[in-house]
Structure 1
Amino acid sequence: MAETQLANLLALLTPADIVTPESPEYEEQSRTWAVQANKHPQVVVTPKSVEALSRVVSYANTTDLNIGIRCTGIGNATSRDILISLSAFKSFQFDPHEETVTFGSGHCWGEIDQKLEENAPGYASVSARCTYVGVGGSILHGGQSWLSSEYGLACDPKNLIDVQVVKMDGTNVWASEEPELLWALRGGGGGFGVATAFKMRVYKYPSSIFCGQIVYAPDALKDIARETAAFASRCSDAKMALHLYCLDMTAGTYAGKEPKPGLAIFVYDANGPEHGRSKDGFKWALDIPGAVDLTKTLNFRGVNQQFDASRAPFGKINTWAAGVTVPAVDENLILRAWDWYLALLKKDPKLVMGTYVLMEVMQKAVYQSLGFPSLVSAWPHTRNQHNLQLGTGVIPGSPESDALAYKAMAEGPYEIHPGHIGADYFLNFIENFIDLKKVK
C-alpha cells in the first residue's frame, strides 16, 4: 500500500519537483543538523507553487506515509518516506508605507538580511542572530534576535503580522482570517499547517554596530565571571547584548589542531563603536588582562555573518543540545559552566569538537515584551531573562560517546543552574529528555 500511496503522491508533481537519493541535490535537501536524526527519506519533494504544495499536503494527509516538512535552514526536519522541502518559496516584498516585509518560508535569515539591505536599506527585521537559520522554524518557535531586547520575539504580534498557511486538508489561507490559527502560529511550533509565507514588521535600525569576539585564555576566568555578571546586572540598554562562550578556541578537529579550551565574549552594541569601546559599553571586557580584541564595526547583515563558521558541524556529527532560560547570569553560574565543560571533555576528549556552553545576556523585553503571564500568543513567555545553551556531539561510530553526550545534555542544565526546572526549556531545542507538558 505504501508504494502505491507514494507513487500517487509523486504523480501530483512534475519531475523537477522530485529529488531522489540518486539526485545530486539529495544530500543538501535532506541533511539534518544532527547526523543521528536523519531518517533518509525515500524522496524529497520541492513543490514550486502553493497550488502544488496544497495538492501534496491534501493527499499526504490521507495516507499512511511518514511525512516531514522542511523550511530550509539547519534543523532536524526529516522523515522515512516523504520530506516536503519549501526551498522554492523565495518570494520577497517590502512595503515602505506599512514598514513590513512579506517573504516565502524557503529563505534562510541571511537571505532576508541581504534582500533588506538591497530593497530596504536602513531597515532590519527581528531575525535570527546568524545567516544559516531558516525563517520558518525560528519564527514559529519564538524567534530570538539582536533586536529582541528592543522589540521582543519574532513571533510577538507586533512583529509577526500574518502567516500564509496550507492546512492539512489542502486549503490555503492567511492565518489572520482564522484568529485562533494565527495565535497558535505565533510561537506554538509548526504542527498547525505548512507555513508558506510570513508578513513581518521591520524597523529602522543603525548601520554602524560595534561587534565581535574578545578572546581569553582560561586563566582569565575569574575576571570574566566577575565582570560579565556585573554587566548583566546593570545593563538595561536595549541596543546592547553579550554572548559568553566556553568552547574549543582552535576549532579542534575541524582545523586539524590540538584542542584548546578557552573563553570568548561576543559583544554587540548598536549604539556604535565609540559607545562600544567606552565605559558605558564594553571597555570592561577589553580591559580584562590577556584580552585579544577581534571586534569590528559592521552593519546588521555583517554582524550575523560573523557566525558563518559555526555552520561547520552541519550534518557531520551526532549532536544533542539543551537550551534553557535563566533569571540571572551571575559569577557562580559562569564558574559552574566552565567546570561542567572541562569535566565533560575530561570524561571523553572525543566530544571536544561538538561541545560548547553559551550564555546569552539579554534584556527583559526579549521574554516579557507582552508582560507575564501572557496569553496573547502561543509562545510560553517566562519571567527569566537570559539563555543558557549547551551542546555536545561526536563523529558517528562511538555508541559510548553518544550515550555520554545525551546524558550530559539531559543533566547539564540542572548541574550548571541548580534552580532549573523542566518548565524553563525553550522550544528551539527539543530532545527526548524534555517533558513538553512542563514547558511554560
Structure 2
Amino acid sequence: MGDVSESSQRELTGQLLELSQLVDPSEVLAASSVDYIANTQTWSTAKDKKPRLVLRPTTTESLTKIVKYLHNTNLDYKVRSRGFGSASATDVLISLTAFDDFEFNKEGEYVILGAGGTWRGYYDRMEAATQDWTIVAARTPSIGIGGSTLCSGFSWLSAEYGCVSDPANLLDAHVITADGRAFWAAETDPDLLWAMRGTETGFAIATHFKFRARQYPENGSIWAGPILIPRTKVAEVAKGISSMAEKDKRGEMTDKLGMFLYVLRKEILAFLGTTQDMLVVHAFDARGEASGREEFRWALEMEGAIDQTGGGMTLGQVARLQEHIGDVRGTAEAYWSPICMTGENETSEEIIIKSISWWETILDDPTSVSKNGYLLYELFSCRDNLTGRHSSAWPRPVGYKHLMLLGTGCGPNEPKEVSDKAKQYLMEAPKKILGKLMNEVDIVPNALEDFHDIERIYGGHYEKLRQIKTRVDPQNRLQGWIEPLAA
C-alpha cells in the first residue's frame, strides 16, 4: 500500500506541476502570498480544504485551458466567485477574481458584469456612469457577483422585480462547460441557463452575466439604515413587524419598502457602534425619508431606540451600510439555514418571539457556540417570479416575501463534538420555532449544508435538473448539489 500511495502522490504532484505550467506564472498564486489568502478564504473555516494549487486565470482562454486539462484528470477542483457557499477544494481552486468586467449599455438597457467582481465594485462603477439607472443587484457589497447570482440572489429591489437570477433580471450568462466549451447560454443552451438560475453551482462555470438595466428615479432619495432597539423590547418589535405584515396582506404595503431584523451579539454588531446586544431594525424605503419615518414610526418611537437612519441615499450608499459584513469571513465554523416564510408560517408575533427564544438558548451554551449564533429576518424581501414560478430552476414558494436566516457556528478548529452541537442546534431550529408548521418550511438555495434536503428544495424540477447535469457534466467534475443520473 505504501508503494501505491507514493506512486499516487508522484502522479498528483506531476499533474499539478503540468497544470501550473499551462498558464502564465502570474496566474499561479503561491501559498505564502497575500493573494493566496484573499482568493481562498472561505466564509466558514470548516469548508476550507487548503487547496494545493490556486489558479487565478485572467482570460477566458486561460480558464478554458485549465478546465480542459482538469476534465481528463481525477483532481478535486472547485471554481470560486466569492459567494457565501465557501467554495474550496483539496487539489485545485480556480479563482475568478480577475473576471471583474463592467459594461453599461444605456441604449441596449443592459449591464454586463464579470462573475468574479464584487457588488461593491458594481455600485462604484454604476454610480460613476449614471445616477438614473440600475440593475437588480445584491445588497451585500463584499459578496461576489457570481456566487450570489447563481444562488438566486436578493436585492433591495427584489420586492418589485424578484430575485437577481430571475429571467426578468438576468438576461444571459457566458459559460464554460466542464469539457471546456465556451458560449453565451441564452441562445446556445437555454436549458442550461434555466438550470443555473438558483442552483448555486455545478452545471457550468459562469464568467460573465448580462443583466437588464432599468431606470430608477428613486435613486438618490432613498431613506435607509439601522434603528437599534434594546433586546428587552422583543414583544414590541414583534408586534410592530406583525402589524406591517398584516398591512401587506391587506394590499396596503408598497413594494418599495423592505427591512431586516438582526438579532445579534454586541461583538458582531460592533461596526454599528453598539456596546450591548440589540435588536436592529434595518429599514429601507425608496419613496424617501418622510414615507420611511411614517412606516417605521413604531420602531423609531420605541423607548431606548437609537436612530442611525439617513435620507437622500443611492442604492450604492444603502449597500455600503453593510460593507463590514465581510469582516466575519473566515473567523468561525459557520452553518446556516435560510427559511422561506410563506403561508401559515408567515411572520407573526409568536414566530418572531419563538425564534428569538431559540437564539437566546444558544447564548447560554458554555462552548464557543454561544458566540457564533445569529438570527436575521429579511422582510418584504422578495416577490413571485415575474416570468412564472417554473422559469427558474428553483421554484420558490408562491407568495414568498419573508426570509428567516438562522445561523450557528463555533470557533475555528474546535473539537468535533462542538461543531456537531452547532449543527444540531440548527437542525432542530425549525421544529422549535415553527412547531406544527415545520412541514411548511422551504429552504433558499444559498450556501446549502449537507443536512438540507436537496430534492425537496427543487421539487418537481429535481429530475429535469439531474438530466441537464448528466448532459453537460456527466462525470460531475464541477460537483455542486445536483448530481448526474447514474450511467
In the superposition, the TM-score normalised over structure 2's length comes to 0.85
Show the counterpart of 2:365.
347
Show the counterpart of 1:295.
309
SS in 1 for 2:88: coil
Is this contact kept in 2: 1:17–1:45, CA < 8 A?
yes
Is this contact kept in 1: 2:168–2:386, CA < 8 A?
no
Q: 2:262 aligns with which of 238, 241, 245?
A: 245
Post-superposition shift, 1:22? 2.2
Show the counterpart of 1:187.
198
Post-superposition shift, 1:348? 3.1
Q: 1:361 aligns with which of 356, 379, 383?
A: 379
Superposed counterparts of 1:21-420, under 5 Å: 21-176=31-186, 177-205=188-216, 206=218, 207-235=220-248, 236-251=253-268, 260-278=276-294, 281-297=295-311, 298-327=313-342, 328-348=346-366, 350-362=368-380, 366-371=383-388, 374-383=389-398, 384-399=400-415, 400-418=417-435, 419-420=437-438
More helix by share: 2
Is this contact kept in 1: 2:36–2:54, CA < 8 A?
yes
Post-superposition shift, 1:352? 4.0
Across the aligned residues of Structure 1 and Structure 2, the Cα RMSD in angstroms comes to: 2.0
Is this contact kept in 2: 1:422–1:434, CA < 8 A?
no
Matching residue's letter, 1:227: G
Matching residue's letter, 2:306: V
Post-superposition shift, 1:4? 2.1
Post-superposition shift, 1:308? 1.8
Question: What CA distance in whole angstroms lies between the structure 2 residues aligned with 1:360 and 1:87?
Answer: 28
Q: Deviations over 1:240-265 (max 9, x none)?
A: 0111121113538x79x998432111
Is this contact kept in 2: 1:108–1:131, CA < 8 A?
yes
Percent identity, aligned pairs only? 31
Is this contact kept in 1: 2:55–2:92, CA < 8 A?
yes
Question: What CA distance in whole angstroms lies between the structure 2 residues aligned with 1:157 and 1:416?
Answer: 34
Q: Which structure 2 residue ranges, 5 or more long, are not aligned?
A: 1-10, 459-487
Question: What CA distance in whole angstroms lies between the structure 2 residues aligned with 1:421 and 1:61?
Answer: 41
Deviates more, 1:263-272 or 1:232-241: 232-241
Question: What CA distance in whole angstroms lies between the structure 1 residues aligned with 2:441 and 2:280?
Answer: 29
Post-superposition shift, 1:361? 1.0
Matching residue's letter, 1:41: P
Matched, 1:431 2:446: no
Question: What CA distance in whole angstroms lies between the structure 2 residues aligned with 1:23 and 1:276?
Answer: 47
Post-superposition shift, 1:421? 3.3
Q: Which structure 1 residue ranges, 5 or more long, are not aligned?
A: none
Distance of aligned partners of 1:20 and 1:51 in 2 relative to their CA distance in 1, 3 Å threshold = same
Is this contact kept in 2: 1:126–1:143, CA < 8 A?
no
In the superposition, the TM-score normalised over structure 1's length comes to 0.94
Question: What CA distance in whole angstroms lies between the structure 2 residues aligned with 1:289 and 1:130?
Answer: 30
Distance of aligned partners of 1:352 and 1:211 in 2 relative to their CA distance in 1, 3 Å threshold = farther
Is this contact kept in 1: 2:355–2:433, CA < 8 A?
yes
SS in 2 for 1:378: coil
Matching residue's letter, 2:232: D
Is this contact kept in 1: 2:83–2:148, CA < 8 A?
no
Question: What CA distance in whole angstroms lies between the structure 2 residues aligned with 1:326 and 1:117?
Answer: 34
Matching residue's letter, 1:410: M
Matching residue's letter, 2:277: P
Question: What CA distance in whole angstroms lies between the structure 1 residues aligned with 2:166 and 2:268?
Answer: 36
Question: What CA distance in whole angstroms lies between the structure 2 residues aligned with 1:112 and 1:316?
Answer: 26
Question: What CA distance in whole angstroms lies between the structure 2 residues aligned with 1:75 and 1:132?
Answer: 14
Count of aligned pairs between the two proteins: 433
Is this contact kept in 2: 1:73–1:132, CA < 8 A?
no
